A and B are shown apart, each in its own frame.
Chain A
Amino acid sequence: MTRRHGPTARRRLLCWTVALCAVLTGSGCPLAATLVATVTAADGTPVPQVVIHAMPVSGKLPATPPKAAQMDQVDKEFVPFVQPVQMGAAVTFPNKDNIRHHVYSFSPAKTFELKLYSGTSAKPVVFDKPGPVTLGCNIHDWMVGHLYVVEGPWFTKTGKDGKGGIDLPAGEYLVKVWHPWMKDEPAPVRIKAEAAGDLATAFRIALTPPPAITHDKR
């Protein structure tokens, strides 16, 4: 958990950066607005681990280099359960268990296979197509992890409170949410980010957990 950046901390950091920038320069820096999306289930409970992704309506994406990401295997589970990554990102799959894992994906966005290994695999996997990538372990059937490959840098994942915030430059965006158990993808929400204006939007999604596949976690 220590390695994960909480949205609040991140937002706070952003605010400080923007404020410093404004004080130091006084002008010129593109204005940034913070989008806070709240995801709740049908009964109003907040849903964590939901990917929130904002796509500029213009389709213009900054040439921000994708950040590397990693999907750990801890105690025979993929950690985190859902991991959004920017298209083109190189993801490493460090094995924190003292047994071997055989991570694979048959997802259309990225089909790969990391044959039996321990520790960190030799080469990170680069995800160059957008879309969900379901990760499995050929040895442990119950191990399921999800990478969600998105275009552009504007994405985040809801926390326990079901909220996720994205700092957006001014402009118009289509905001989408994704969760592996989501049955129907809600329609994208169009928002307009303006300078120094906070945005809020809310999504209501229905999740259908997969049938419990009984496997002893051994």
Chain B
Amino acid sequence: MKIHSLRARIIVFFVMLLVTVQAVLFVLVSVSGRRVAEQVIGDELVTGERIFERLVVQSTNRLADAARLLASDFGFRTAVATHDVATIASALANHGRRIDASVVMLASLDGGLIADTLWGSTTRDPVFPLPSMLDTARASGRASGIVLLDGRPYQVVVVPVLAPTPIAWVAMGFAIDDRTAADLQSVAALEVSFLSRTADGRWTLHASTLPPQIRGRLASRRGELEGMSRLSSMTLVDEEYQTLVPVLGESPEGRVVALLQRSKREALEPFDRVRAILSGLGLASLVFTVLGSVIIARGISRPVSRLAEAARGIRDGDYTQKVKVETQDEIGGLADSFNHMLDGIVGRESKILRLAYEDSLTGLPNRARFREAVRDGLVTARRTSGALSVLILDLDRFKAINDSLGHPAGDEVLRIVACRLRETIAEDDMVARLGGDEFAILLHGGVGEHVKEVTERIFARLREPIDLDGQPVDVGASIGIAYHPTHGDDPDLLMLRADVAMYDAKRGHAGCATYDVRNEDGRRHHLSLLGELRRAVERDELSVHYQPKLDLRTGGIHHAEALVRWIHPERGFVSPGEFIPFAEQTGYIRELTRWVVARVIRQVDEWRARGLEVRVSVNISTRDLMSDDLVPEVERAMARGGTPPGLLCFEVTESGVMEDPARALATLDRIHALGIRLSVDDFGTGYSSLAYLKKLPVQELKIDRSFVMHMADDANDATLVRTTIELGHNLGLEVVAEGIEDEPSLALLKAFGCDQVQGYLIAKPMPADRFEAWMLERTATATLSPALPDLSSPRTRLSA
């Protein structure tokens, strides 16, 4: 049986313990009590025997004294000497009466019976009935013993009548009868019986103190005495007696024995009383133990149950239930600890919740919380057929702020932006920080105008310069918008699409863009892009396209930029803007760069072999600059084909260098040492100082397309481009403008003295074979009409 309840176990343990102890005690008391009782009985019997022996000695002495007194009486002696039988008989009777003797006899020296008090002269037997005693008396002067006389037991003493030599024998005796037994019983407190066995083996019960019924039973069982040991047990009428059988007298006439008995029941009575008390005590203590155990166990188990219940409550998230245990004991302490633990859990859980759902920097909800809010919002919107919009906001040039002013400043900017965003939107809408400089806004209610209004408010608020310790800082932002239900019915999808829109906005410097389903191509599964990118390299889905750079001074084409193109077997064209950032994020860009570099070197070698010398620029990512194995690999690749380093140019971004300038510089120095030309890409988008630019071993500046694209319409941009060109030239650098798409811009750049231009106006990026053909064609054209402006041909091609 298994007992699960603590209370039951406590009770069962104590009860079992008590019962065991009691039982053992009871058995011990019973066993030892019985043993002690038997011992005591044995001792009592032996003592009784000794008492009896003492009584016998006393009686003997009394008899002997009386007999001797009689024998020495001169008158009696005279009577004996003169055979005066009548006088003798009266003297015998007289002296017998004095000590209440049962029998007095006078025997002649030759064993005749002269006179007696028992039978009188009428039944007188002329022979003394105890000849054996006479023999003893003759031998030792006197005799005494317990003998059978006339079939009955007597204690008899025989002494001589001296005159002065023996002239006769006086025998005097007491009958051993009920009175003797009673006397002995009164002294020894034992049941006493006297039995005899005659020479012919017949047992007779003569006297007993036993009650008549038992006495009768004893009489009927006297035969058993024959083989009985001295000390034994005897049961008479349901009464068990410990019995001692001392032999009192043994003579030719027969044997006389005493039966000393003690009732075991009587002797055991005190022990039975003790046992009864023990039983009562045991029962009482059992009851008290059960009661006590129940109380104690309840005192333990009830609070424990309460604790368990409270623990269950906590498991189910109910933190309101405190354990109420008033006791001051360990359980009370446990309950206290439990309550403290509960407080701790509540505190920690709220903190964890906060951490889980809150952005610690700005105090805004985090991505997870935002996602939930969108989900909840979607649920409501679906029910009410309402609308909902998700906005993703990313700060422009935040990285530059971080890099130039330090992270604390960046954090401060984020906090201020967060605060402003929060102020801008309605109470039931939500602003969250997704991470970095990326925020998300959930707008309930209408789409279109309402959202536009909000974005305008946001832009207005963000345009206000941020004051950082007295230094004003401008922050711009790009916002992508996705609507429910138009753009999705799922938080993740909405957020993704808003993100895509944001990137579109950022790329287009549009400030704000709504998700356009047309831009969806290749983006839908960009999470799987990386894996596909890896496969793309293996499956040769990637290719390198080359975009020529026009030398404005000579009008010739001597340079081209290598651009990776990915034609996905299912999706078709995948924009580099889509997969390059992922490659950079995951570090796969390194492999990609190596692949491109290797491909370009091979291509350059091929072209060179065919007489076409083109310097190809390859974009090197930040990660490449941080990697030590780029340079040796490039070196090896070049060594294979004996590629002149002058035919290679590595374009690095400003921000790429700024991330870890020292390390980047070291790599750049090594590249430069190889003789490879270096160019700073996207110049103008970062915050790099010109002084720092001077330190770099670069030979070329590339003005970012964002400045070039609108320079024809925007005087500021034009000025910026011109200044940059001049600046570059002043630093001894060649200046390349990219993203040129119209003639006016080309004219301006030419006027500004820009060294090279690149863009759709000149030519789109082309596969190697087409590039080669294009070049050949162009060279042919140039050869045919060298005076012709270079620009018509690509344009024609473009339009074609």
Residues in chain A within 8 A of chain B (CB atoms)? 104, 106, 111, 134-138, 141-144, 180, 210-214
A156 to chain B, nearest CB (A): 24
Q: Judge if B508 is at the interface, Cβ distance under 8 Å.
A: no
Find chain B residues with CB under 8 A from A211 CB: 138-142
Find chain A residues with CB under 8 A from B166 CB: 210
Find chain B residues with CB under 8 A from A213 CB: 141, 160, 162
Chain B: number of interface residues, binned into ranges: 10 to 19
Complex CA gap A136/B72 in Å reads 12
Other contacts beyond A106-B80, A212-B141, A213-B160: 11, CB < 8 A: A106-B78, A106-B167, A111-B81, A135-B164, A136-B162, A141-B162, A141-B164, A143-B164, A211-B141, A213-B141, A213-B162
Task: Write the chain A residue with the least CB distance to B142.
Answer: A211
A134–B140 touching, CB < 8 Å: no
Complex CA gap A104/B81 in Å reads 12
Find chain B residues with CB under 8 A from A134 CB: 163-165
Q: When A and B form their complex, which 5 residue pairs have the shortest distance between CB atoms, in order from nearest?
A: A106-B81, A136-B164, A211-B141, A106-B163, A144-B164
Complex CA gap A106/B109 in Å reads 15
Find chain A residues with CB under 8 A from B78 CB: 106
Centre residue among B82, B162, B166 by max chain A CB count within 10 A:
B162
Task: Write the chain A residue with the least CB distance to B141.
Answer: A211
Complex CA gap A135/B74 in Å reads 14
CB interface residues, B 66-86, toward A, < 8 Å: 72, 74, 77-78, 80-82
Complex CA gap A150/B78 in Å reads 25
CB interface residues, B 136-183, toward A, < 8 Å: 138-142, 160, 162-167
A142–B164 touching, CB < 8 Å: yes
Find chain A residues with CB under 8 A from B72 CB: 141
Complex CA gap A134/B166 in Å reads 11
A103 to chain B, nearest CB (A): 10
Find chain B residues with CB under 8 A from A111 CB: 81-82
Cβ 8 A contact of A137, one of B140, B142, B164: B164
B165–A144 touching, CB < 8 Å: yes
Complex CA gap A159/B664 in Å reads 166
Listed A/B pairs (17) with beta-carbon separation below 8 Å: A104-B74, A106-B77, A106-B78, A106-B163, A111-B81, A134-B163, A134-B164, A136-B162, A136-B163, A136-B164, A136-B165, A138-B74, A142-B164, A143-B164, A210-B141, A211-B138, A211-B141
Complex CA gap A71/B72 in Å reads 23
Task: Write the chain A residue with the least CB distance to B140.
Answer: A211
Find chain A residues with CB under 8 A from B167 CB: 106
Find chain B residues with CB under 8 A from A106 CB: 77-78, 80-82, 163, 167
Find chain B residues with CB under 8 A from A135 CB: 164
Centre residue among B74, B77, B82, B166 by max chain A CB count within 10 A:
B74
Find chain B residues with CB under 8 A from A144 CB: 164-165
Find chain A residues with CB under 8 A from B163 CB: 104, 106, 134, 136
Find chain B residues with CB under 8 A from A136 CB: 162-165
Complex CA gap A135/B162 in Å reads 11
Find chain B residues with CB under 8 A from A142 CB: 164
CB interface residues, B 485-512, toward A, < 8 Å: none
Find chain B residues with CB under 8 A from A141 CB: 72, 162, 164
B519 to chain A, nearest CB (A): 155
B165–A210 touching, CB < 8 Å: yes
Find chain A residues with CB under 8 A from B164 CB: 134-137, 141-144
A117 to chain B, nearest CB (A): 16
Find chain A residues with CB under 8 A from B162 CB: 136, 141, 213
Find chain B residues with CB under 8 A from A214 CB: 141
Complex CA gap A187/B140 in Å reads 29
Complex CA gap A211/B140 in Å reads 5
Find chain B residues with CB under 8 A from A104 CB: 74, 163
Task: Write the chain B residue with the least CB distance to A145.
Answer: B164
Complex CA gap A111/B81 in Å reads 9
Complex CA gap A212/B142 in Å reads 10
Find chain B residues with CB under 8 A from A138 CB: 74
Complex CA gap A93/B522 in Å reads 177
CB interface residues, B 27-79, toward A, < 8 Å: 72, 74, 77-78
A214 to chain B, nearest CB (A): 8
A71 to chain B, nearest CB (A): 14
B748 to chain A, nearest CB (A): 176
B108 to chain A, nearest CB (A): 14
Task: Write the chain A residue with the least CB distance to B71.
Answer: A141
Complex CA gap A3/B40 in Å reads 72
Find chain A residues with CB under 8 A from B141 CB: 210-214
Complex CA gap A104/B141 in Å reads 22
Complex CA gap A136/B141 in Å reads 17
B77 to chain A, nearest CB (A): 7
B738 to chain A, nearest CB (A): 164
Complex CA gap A138/B73 in Å reads 9
Centre residue among B78, B139, B142, B165 by max chain A CB count within 10 A:
B165
B81 to chain A, nearest CB (A): 3
Task: Write the chain B residue with the least CB distance to A136.
Answer: B164
Complex CA gap A138/B75 in Å reads 11
Complex CA gap A212/B141 in Å reads 7
Find chain A residues with CB under 8 A from B74 CB: 104, 138
B136 to chain A, nearest CB (A): 10
Complex CA gap A135/B167 in Å reads 13
Complex CA gap A142/B141 in Å reads 13
B70 to chain A, nearest CB (A): 14
Find chain B residues with CB under 8 A from A137 CB: 164
- Digit string of B117-140 for contact with A (CB within 8 Å is 1, else 0)? 000000000000000000000111
Complex CA gap A75/B82 in Å reads 30
Find chain A residues with CB under 8 A from B80 CB: 106
Task: Write the chain A residue with the least CB distance to B159.
Answer: A213
A50 to chain B, nearest CB (A): 17
A115 to chain B, nearest CB (A): 10
Find chain B residues with CB under 8 A from A210 CB: 141, 165-166
Find chain B residues with CB under 8 A from A212 CB: 141
